[in-house]
Structure 1
Amino acid sequence: MLNFKRNRLRNNALVLLNCLLLLSISCKNNEKKAETSEPPQTSVWSEADAIIEKIGTIEFPDSTFDIKDYGAVADGRTLNTEAFSKAIEACSLTGGGKVVVSSGKYLTGPIHLKSNVNLHLEKGAEILFTKDKSAYLPAVHTSYEGMEIMNYSPLIYAKGQKNIAVTGSGILNGQADKTNWWPWCGADRYGYQEGDPKQKDEHNLPTLFKMIEDGTPVEKRVFGEGNQLRPLFLQTLECENVLIQGVTFTNAPFWVIHPLKSKYVTVDGITVNSHGPNNDGCDPEYSSYVHITNCKFNTGDDCIAIKSGRNGDGRRVNIPSENIVVENCDMKDGHGGVVMGSEISAGVRNVFVRNCTMNSPNLDRAIRIKTNTLRGGFVENVYVKDIEVGQVKEAVLKINTYYGIYGVQEGEFIPSISNINLENITVEKGGKYGLLIKGREERPVSGITLKNVTIKGAETPLLVENCEPINYINTSINGVDYSN
């Protein structure tokens, strides 16, 4: 019988969290307007603890289902899609348990998880996802860069399920490379050849943009065969009680871990080592109560990127991502350590980051917020503390409301960015800028506080535009004290 500690903990935790949030709001309303005053934050990290408590833990029944008992062959050549499907089905139908992948190499198509199933990879197990693109059809309800579509199935996928997990110490190998999936991004360095189809071609992203503009229902936004929009690695859509623990992800086609419209998600002790295009490590989107802890990220894009939909599709769904805790993680290569955006049209709030290390000559920024006036959205109540940054290339904190990689992206949705707090941060080599902030004249960035922050080696200490005065408390950049 299932024993979910989460159900026992949530009610008390929710009461505590609501009280703490009310107290925090009350404190902010009574705060003196003087920029030199220190904002009271005595309860902030208790809010983070309450979020973790509400997420709780999942325990599965002791029943085990070895995929070899359902015909799986660990030779790296035999296609085991049916064996995985049968084992997961049997596990779910009998009330749940653990689907075991023992040592060996298992080739498979997409794996679709079901409620109460823990897919467990033992030491020495490696799942190889086939390069045969037809295996990922028929198209399923998924997403691409913050827009919902019908597309190739994610490599691991669950929709509308509860109490699901992927755990263990094995490897999940997407087998994406310069000959498989990656060339569709259209970049030469990822294997694209001039004249080959790519994601920016008219029948791909431009068609999807037009569908969203026209209000086309998701079920009629059909891509897949004949299109070049890459699948996600692991996606949970409209799921509750999700655990991703211990495993290693490599060679991803696109974003790696993507909780979408999901609640009570724990990502614990995983390793992402994948340097392909758009190989974000973990991207919670339209999701709440997410705990990312003890993880290692070495990626081709953002290590962690918190999202909430793109442009009109994000405003249609209108579910902010909120109540997210990141702690005890190690970030190496990536466009950013912890990022909010760029798909952020429904907003992000209540993000807590603590006890992390970020260090690589190929890490562009430590904390990053990115949006524009087509995407709009808001970011509020972000708390970052106890972070050790060895080296970043561009900036320790970058806030950009002019973000764009598809040319000029100007619209009528002025983003709002407020209450961003950095505390106990040490940076040995700050890159091109210490702080790089580009707000909008119509709505400047507000409520930025740096407390006990030391940044060394920044080429330019500050580049700040359209931002209300920053509150510096015991903060120095390149040996200069900026304290108010």
Structure 2
Amino acid sequence: MRKLVGCVAIAVFLSASDLRAEESPGWDDVPTIVAAIEAPLIPDGDFPVTDHGAKPDGKTDCRQAIADAIRACHEAGGGRVVVPEGEWYCKGPIHLLSRVNLHLNKGATLQFSNDPDDFLPEVHTRFEGTEVMMWSPPIYAFEQHDIAITGEGVIDGGADDEHWWVWKRSGATDIKRLGEMGEKGVPVSERRFGGSQLRVNFVQPYRCERVLIEGITVHRSPMWCLNPVLCKNVTVRGVTVDSHGPNNDGCNPESCSGVLIEGCFFDTGDDCIAIKSGRNADGRRVGAPSENIVVRNCTMRDGHGGVVLGSEMSGGIRNVFVEDCEMDSPNLERAIRLKSNSMRGGYLRNMQVRNIRVGEVSDAVFRINLVYSEPESGPYPPAVSDVVLENVTAEKCKRPMHLVGLAESPIQGLTIKNCRFGGAKQASLIEHVADLKLEYYSQPEK
């Protein structure tokens, strides 16, 4: 174990990771990555939900009216399904179709039922990185293209300590049973959990192409808030997530390729942004990484982590770029976090972070933990390599860095450049890190 103490440390350790970094995209490639993320192709034309009988009284079930508007829009070749100002009650999920933009005007609220039975029949989804047939997410799309959710309105999942969130405590048996099915390779069609106590994620496009989520506000999600899965070309822009329930991660791209998250505000009950790619054997079976992801100009307040990789990352995560973000709250635990364990396998490779202002975090500014969550060891040690933090400043933290690798798979290729981590109560903790460069790194005295 090594601890970093003192005011300033300047060192250079060269290794094979320097050569690996040359093979991966860098900051000069980010404009190309962003330019390749295609926006949805959605024609002009509005389809108001009121034309199909929806009423904004907060009581009348508008689900069928919204579904009818979506179908009419889709069959006409696409356009905007417009939800005007008012409170619109949905007793069940909204399923998007190709070339449809669900647009919530300013002052509009989609208030979803919090009765799980309203979210049947089962759909093909993922729970914490394992594929399953279970309750539908409140807003869901399966194998569609050119879809969007836009506007200045609010989506409210209605979750609270008596609805959805209570299953955080009581759903352990179902979680274990699903995990065992994933490990045994039970076909997804036979993993039937429609009557279970597994919580749904709020907004989930699944196997979709060209997805836009822009401008909306998210409240009271049952579990993860925004969760594109196995999607290509995803843009999340100008979204506000204010949801403090258990596992209320703000935005979780999962096994997605080409993702831009920009100009968003996160105040959450779990990680603000968590990039994932499937869990354990089931994640390895699907084998789809999350890759080519850009996060920029976002603000993080409460949460377990600001930008996080893992812990469900068995399909691998690579080429993640984070810049120009602000992270500050006594209830924000870490700024940059990578988490996994030897049940996962997979890799976390080429994450580059720059120009991040951290006011206060309650734990470490930068944390990598490869013994996360599951106490038992497994035969699939994850590989972590080529992570660069540059121009990251922090004013207050428990410790600057908490870096714990595995003896059989030490962390490779970490670079901390021109960073200042101040106000630390404890020294950095470093275990099983084989390759670390500190360039003009400052840890001021307490």
Residues 232-243 of structure 1 aligned to structure 2 (within 5 Å) = 232-243=201-212
1:246 counterpart (215, 218, 222)? 215
Mapped to 2, the partners of 1:214 and 1:435 lie a distance apart of 37
Aligned partner of 1:412 in structure 2 is 379
Preserved CA contact (<8 Å) 1:35 1:470: no
Contact 1:36–1:472 at 8 Å: present in 2 too?
no
SS of 1:258's partner is coil
Q: Which residue of 2 aligns with 1:62?
A: 44
In the aligned structure 2, how far is the partner of 1:75 from the partner of 1:422?
50
**1:60 Cα deviation after fit:** 2.2
Match of 1:313 among 282, 293, 301: 282
Gaps of 5+ in 1: 1-30, 187-197
Structure-to-structure mapping, 1:237-276, within 5 angstroms: 237-276=206-245
Match of 2:5 in 1: none
Counterpart of 2:341 in 1: which secondary structure? coil
What's the offset of the Cα at 1:410? 1.3
User: Which residue pairs with 1:118 in the alignment?
Assistant: 101
Query: Could you tell me how far 1:433 is from its partner in structure 2?
Result: 1.3
Matches within 5 A, 1:87-102: 87-102=69-84
Distance 1:212 1:426 in 2: 41
Task: Write the mapping of 1:207-222 to structure 2, written as runs, cut at 5 A.
Answer: 207-222=177-192
Q: Distance in 2 between matches of 1:458 and 1:40?
A: 33
Distance 2:69 2:243 in 1: 28
Tell me: CA distance 1:474–1:114, structure 2 relative to 1, closer, same or farther (3 Å).
same
Q: Please list the CA deviations of residues 369-401 of structure 1 after superposition, one character each: whole Å capped at 9, or x if unmatched.
A: 000001122111000000000001110110000
Residue of structure 2 aligned with 1:432, choices 391, 398, 405:
398
SS at the partner of 2:385?
strand
In 1, the alpha carbon distance for the partners of 2:16 and 2:353 equals 22
Question: Secondary structure in 1 aligned to 2:400?
Answer: strand
Large movers: runs of 4+ above 3 Å: 31-37, 39-43
Report the AA paired with residue 129 of structure 2: G
**Cα separation, 2, equivalents of 1:102 and 1:81:** 15
* CA deviation string 1:285-334 (max 9, x = no partner): 11110000000000000000000110100110011110000000000000
What SS does the corresponding residue of 1:256 show, helix, strand or coil? coil
- Aligned-pair CA distance for 1:242: 0.1
State how 1:122-161 maps to structure 2 within 5 Å.
122-161=105-144
Other-structure match for 2:7: none
How large is the RMSD of aligned CA atoms in angstroms?
A: 1.8
Give the match for residue 146 of structure 2. 163
- Deviation, 1:144, is 0.5
Which runs of no fewer than 5 residues in structure 2 stay unpaired?
1-12
Q: 1:183 to 1:32 in 2, by over 3 A?
A: closer
C-alpha displacement at 1:87, in angstroms? 0.2
- 1:406-428 C-alpha deviation (Å, 9 max, x unpaired): x5131001111000000011111
State the 1:34 CA deviation.
9.6
User: Is contact 1:328-1:354 (8 Å) kept?
Assistant: yes
**SS of corresponding position for 2:281:** helix
In the superposition, the TM-score normalised over structure 1's length comes to 0.87
Q: How many residues align?
A: 432
CA distance in 2 between counterparts of 1:291 and 1:477 reads: 32
Highest RCO, 1 vs 2 (Cα 8 Å, sep ≥ 6)? 2
- How does the TM-score come out when normalised to structure 2? 0.94
- Structure 2 vs 1, CA of residues 475 and 412 (structure 1 numbering), >3 Å: closer, same or farther? same
CA distance in 2, matches of 1:112, 1:393: 39
User: Residue 382 of structure 1 is aligned with which of 322, 346, 351?
Assistant: 351
Shift of 1:47: 1.5
